[in-house]
Structure 1
Amino acid sequence: MEQFDNIDEYIADLKGKLEVNPTCGNTHYNLGVAYLTRRDFVEAEREFLDAVAHSPRMAEGYVQLGGIALQRDDMESCLNYNVQATQQRPFFAVPWGNIGFVYMQLGEHDKAHKALKKALKLDPEFAQAQATMSTLLITMGDYEEADKILKVLLERQPNFGPAWNNKAIIDAHNGDWADAAVCIRKAEESGFEVLEDFKKEVEENNK
């Protein structure tokens, strides 16, 4: 996209390519990504559907469709698309991480744990899966194991907001209120929106 002045020029170029070769899955995929940049989810979804129709083994296309389904809070479609991605590329960590996230949202903790373990076995440095796993472990009451994961993650990615938020939750659980306040500040500096009720609880306990 470097040679284009803006996203509209890039989209126009890709559309021109599709006029010449309408069955190119990669071009449909790139056009879908371009529409996502513009937050045009309807057009993006159409292009990703065309991408996987013409290139059925394109796991990334299914992952993108799953992401759009998640935007609509359509957990079932999100899950199904990511399962399709794993069927095309079993050793692709991203869909396994997404499957774990969806199962966690649905309260299926054992299935979530299994999928996230698979994601992290395939890619031990997959930050989003590490953060999701820490959230799951907190939900299951295993604060110690969650803390271990977060320490590793934050050493490598010190600006990862969701991890700082989870670290704050663990510190609060352990009664380390001053540390929790520091973690909240770091989460917010990283652009993460911390729940107001939790912030107030930490503030009250630091008075």
Structure 2
Amino acid sequence: MSKAPNAEAFIEEQRRAIASNPDCGTSHYNLAVALLGQGKIEEGEKSLMTAIECSPGLAEAYVQIGGIRLKRGDLDGCLDWNRRAVKMKPSFSEGWGNIGFVLLQQGDLEGAIKALKKATAFNFRFIQAFATLANAYLMNGQIKESIETNLKAIDLSPEFAVAHNNLAIAYLEDGQTALAVEHADKAMELGYQVAPEILKELEPHRS
């Protein structure tokens, strides 16, 4: 069954709410999210801008615009809008997670780690932020911290394949080859494609 009719009904409901109260930022935001869900990116973006005009403190709208910028390949734009989000709402874990992700893409490892530590502090169940933080630690040569952070991700979700893959790499770097093999196998069991060079390096350590 398609959910499209329900989405259309929701969109109409938000349009009616806006017609009766044009300055309600939340209605503009809800409309934007529904439009984005239908792939109407430009229309959704306009509604997000209107939501911010009506409610400048609506941090979620800033993050949504950042997401649109990211999809367009505009990392600086994504970073800017997420920084605006956490300025409005300093404890907004999603904003910090996005900032960390972009800074990691841009090679600012220290900045990424700082932002991702905030993301996980404000939301201790933010599994994707833990995985990205673990990756940032690994890239920064902080192997022990990477292992510890990946283990937190797996504690939250034992079937999280990315964390098992990252653990395999971190344990390999740390010389704990038996654990590296174990987590590489687990990642593959969960459908993750472990890099061929990692598997080749692990081959001599299989019993």
Q: Which residue of 1 aligns with 2:132?
A: 132
Mapping for residues 17-32 of structure 1, pairs under 5 Å: 17-32=17-32
Report the secondary structure of 1:22's partner residue.
coil
Mapping for residues 23-172 of structure 1, pairs under 5 Å: 23-172=23-172
Letter in structure 1 aligned against 2:165? N
Listed as ranges, the gaps of 5+ residues in structure 1 are none
1:172, 1:180 within 8 Å by CA — same for their partners in 2?
no
Mapping for residues 168-179 of structure 1, pairs under 5 Å: 168-173=168-173, 174=175, 175-176=177-178, 178-179=181-182
Listed as ranges, the gaps of 5+ residues in structure 2 are none
1:165, 1:187 within 8 Å by CA — same for their partners in 2?
no
| Pair 12,154 (structure 1): closer, same or farther in 2 beyond 3 Å | same
Q: Distance in 2 between matches of 1:122 and 1:23?
A: 30
Report the secondary structure of 2:23's partner residue.
coil
Q: Which residue of 1 aligns with 2:15?
A: 15
1:62, 1:85 within 8 Å by CA — same for their partners in 2?
yes
Q: Which residue of 1 aligns with 2:188?
A: 185
| Pair 71,153 (structure 1): closer, same or farther in 2 beyond 3 Å | same
Deviates more, 1:80-89 or 1:32-41: 32-41
Cα deviation digits, residues 41-61 of structure 1 (max 9, x gap): 222222211111110010111
| Pair 144,183 (structure 1): closer, same or farther in 2 beyond 3 Å | farther
RMSD of aligned alpha carbons:
2.3
Letter in structure 1 aligned against 2:138? I
Letter in structure 2 aligned against 1:149? T
Letter in structure 2 aligned against 1:19? A
Letter in structure 2 aligned against 1:202? L
Q: Which residue of 1 aligns with 2:199?
A: 202
Report the secondary structure of 2:150's partner residue.
helix
Q: Distance in 1 between matches of 2:189 and 2:84?
A: 37
Aligned residues: 198
CA drift of 1:160 comes to 2.8
Report the secondary structure of 1:6's partner residue.
helix
Q: Distance in 1 between matches of 2:91 and 2:30?
A: 22
Q: Distance in 2 between matches of 1:165 and 1:47?
A: 40
CA drift of 1:172 comes to 4.5
2:161, 2:186 within 8 Å by CA — same for their partners in 1?
no
1:168, 1:183 within 8 Å by CA — same for their partners in 2?
no
2:127, 2:156 within 8 Å by CA — same for their partners in 1?
no
Q: TM-score, normalized by length of structure 1?
A: 0.84
Deviates more, 1:40-49 or 1:75-84: 40-49
Report the secondary structure of 1:147's partner residue.
helix
Report the secondary structure of 1:149's partner residue.
helix
User: Identity, % of aligned pairs?
Assistant: 34
Q: TM-score, normalized by length of structure 2?
A: 0.84
